[in-house]
C-alpha cells in the first residue's frame, strides 16, 4: 500500500509541519513503511496531489493521510478517483475538523500516526457535487457563504475561532438580508421556493458546534436536506442563535427537512452558486447543481478504539 501524507501548514493557528513530519518519519521508519510526504503550497494543492497520485498508482492501494483541517480533508477527497482501493485518513490540526465529531471520541485518537496506520476502514457515505467537489460533512448554499467571495474578509475572519468565523460569516449575510429563489427537485419531488439557506448534511456538526438535527449519520445511506424558509434578518439572526445554543426544538417550523439521495438545484436568477463545502469555498461553473449522496462510497480510516455515534449517543 502507498502511504501518502499531505500536510497543510496553514491549517489551525499554529504551523505544526515540522513536528508532524518528524512523527511521520519516526513512526514509519519503525514500521518499515516508506511514506510520501507533501507540504501544501496553495489552496487546492491537496486536490492536485490526490489526483496526481491516483493517476500514477492506478492499480495500487493508496491511503491518503490529511494533516490539516476540514478543507484539507475535502480537497483531498475531491481529488481522489472512485477506485475501490483508495482510503482516506484525517490527522486533525485545523480549527474544528467537524466531521470527526461523528465519532464518539471526536478528535482524540485521530491525532496519532500509529493509530491511523493501524486503523480500521469504515465504509461511509459522502456528498458529491457532480463536476465540482465532494464532502463528508455538509454542503451549504445561501447564508454564510458570501465571505468566500471576498478574499480579504475571509482571511480576516479565518483568524478567529471556527465557531466565531462561521458566526461572523452568517452575521455578514444576515445584515445583507441574503435569500434566494430556487428551483429544487429532491428525488423527483418539487421543493422549489424562496429560501434563506439550503443545507445538505451527511455528518453531524458545522461551525464547530452547530447540530441542526440528531438524525444525521454518515453511514445510513441518507442525505438530510434542510430548506430554511425565507425570513427577515431579525428572525434569521434569532434562528442562528437558537442553533448555536442547541435549541433546535424552538425553530423546527422555520425549515423543512427532506431525506433523500439526489437534489437538482438552480437559482431562478440563473446566477452561479457560492458553496461552503465542509468549511471550504467552492464556486462551480455550472448554474444548475446535481448534488448526490454516494452510499458507502468512501473508505475512511478510524482508530480501532473509537466508533461512530449511534442514536442512543445522540439522545444522551
Q: How many residues comprise the chain?
A: 316
Can you count the helices (H) and strands (E) in the chain? 8, 16
Which residues, 6+ apart, have CB-to-CB distance to 77 below 8 Å? 50, 88, 126, 134, 135, 136, 298
Q: Mutual orientation of helices 233-244 and 162-175 as an angle, nearest 10°?
A: 170
CA 148 to chain CA mean position, Å: 15
**Which residues of the chain fall below pLDDT 70?**
143-179, 312-316
| Cα angle for residues 223, 227, 233 (degrees, 5° grid) | 145
pLDDT for the residue 13: 77
pLDDT for the residue 171: 55
The set of cell numbers assigned to 117 is 496506520
Residue that is written with C-alpha cell 458546534 in the block: 209
| Max intra-chain CA distance, the chain | 60
Helix, strand, coil shares of the chain, percent, nearest 5, are 30, 35, 35
Q: How far is CA 170 from CA 44, 94, 235, 243, in A?
A: 24, 20, 13, 12
The per-residue pLDDT for range 179-206, each reduced to its tens digit, is: 689 999 999 999 999 998 899 999 998 8
What is the CATH number that goes with domain 138-295? Answer: 2.60.200.40
pLDDT for the residue 290: 98
> What is d(CA 257, CA 147) in angstroms, rounded to the nearest whole number?
26
| Cα angle for residues 109, 19, 121 (degrees, 5° grid) | 30
> What is d(CA 116, CA 113) in angstroms, rounded to the nearest whole number?
5
Cβ–Cβ under 8 Å, residues 126 and 77: yes
> What is d(CA 236, CA 248) in angstroms, rounded to the nearest whole number?
13
pLDDT for the residue 66: 97
> What is d(CA 212, CA 216) in angstroms, rounded to the nearest whole number?
9
pTM above 0.85, yes or no: yes
The residue among 263, 268, 237 whose CA lies nearest residue 251 is: 237
How many CB atoms within 10 Å of residue 32?
A: 6
Domain segments of the chain as ranges: 2-125+297-315, 138-295
| Sequence-ordered alpha helix ranges (H) in 39-131 | 45-56, 70-79, 113-117
| Cα angle for residues 9, 11, 16 (degrees, 5° grid) | 50
Burial class (CB in 10 A: 0-12, 13-18, 19+), 244: middle
Asked if domains 2-125+297-315 and 138-295 share a fold, the reply is no
Domain 2-125+297-315 sits in CATH 3.40.50.10330: yes
Amino acid at each position: 500500500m502507498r502511504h501518502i501524507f499531505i500536510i497543510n501548514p496553514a491549517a489551525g493557528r499554529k504551523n505544526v509541519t515540522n513536528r508532524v513530519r518528524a512523527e511521520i518519519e519516526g513512526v514509519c521508519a519503525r514500521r518499515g513503511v516508506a511514506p510520501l510526504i507533501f507540504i501544501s503550497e496553495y489552496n487546492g494543492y491537496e486536490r492536485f496531489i490526490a489526483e496526481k497520485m491516483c493517476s500514477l498508482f492506478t492499480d495500487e492501494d493508496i491511503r491518503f493521510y490529511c494533516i490539516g483541517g476540514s478543507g484539507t480533508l475535502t480537497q483531498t477527497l475531491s481529488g481522489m478517483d472512485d477506485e475501490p482501493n483508495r482510503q482516506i485518513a484525517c490527522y486533525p490540526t485545523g480549527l474544528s475538523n467537524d466531521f470527526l465529531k461523528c465519532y464518539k471520541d471526536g478528535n482524540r485518537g485521530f491525532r496519532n500516526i500509529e493509530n491511523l496506520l493501524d486503523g480500521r476502514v469504515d465504509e461511509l457515505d459522502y456528498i458529491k457535487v457532480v463536476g465540482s467537489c465532494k464532502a463528508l460533512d455538509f454542503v451549504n448554499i445561501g447564508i454564510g457563504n458570501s465571505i468566500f467571495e471576498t478574499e480579504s474578509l475571509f482571511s480576516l475572519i479565518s483568524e478567529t475561532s471556527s465557531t466565531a468565523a462561521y458566526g461572523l460569516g452568517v452575521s455578514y449575510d444576515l445584515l445583507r438580508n441574503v435569500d434566494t429563489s430556487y428551483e429544487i427537485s429532491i428525488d423527483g419531488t418539487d421543493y422549489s421556493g424562496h429560501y434563506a439557506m439550503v443545507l445538505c448534511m451527511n455528518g453531524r456538526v458545522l461551525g464547530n458546534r452547530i447540530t441542526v438535527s440528531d438524525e444525521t449519520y454518515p453511514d445510513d445511506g441518507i442525505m438530510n436536506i434542510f430548506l430554511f424558509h425565507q425570513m427577515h434578518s431579525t428572525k434569521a439572526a434569532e434562528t442562528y442563535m437558537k442553533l448555536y445554543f442547541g435549541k433546535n426544538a424552538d425553530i423546527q417550523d422555520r425549515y423543512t427537512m427532506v431525506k433523500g439521495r439526489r437534489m437538482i438545484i438552480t437559482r431562478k436568477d440563473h446566477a452561479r452558486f457560492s458553496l461552503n463545502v465542509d468549511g471550504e469555498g467552492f464556486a462551480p461553473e455550472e448554474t444548475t447543481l446535481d448534488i448526490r449522496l454516494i452510499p458507502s462510497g468512501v473508505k475512511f480510516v478510524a482508530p480501532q478504539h473509537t466508533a461512530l455515534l449511534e442514536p442512543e449517543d445522540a439522545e444522551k
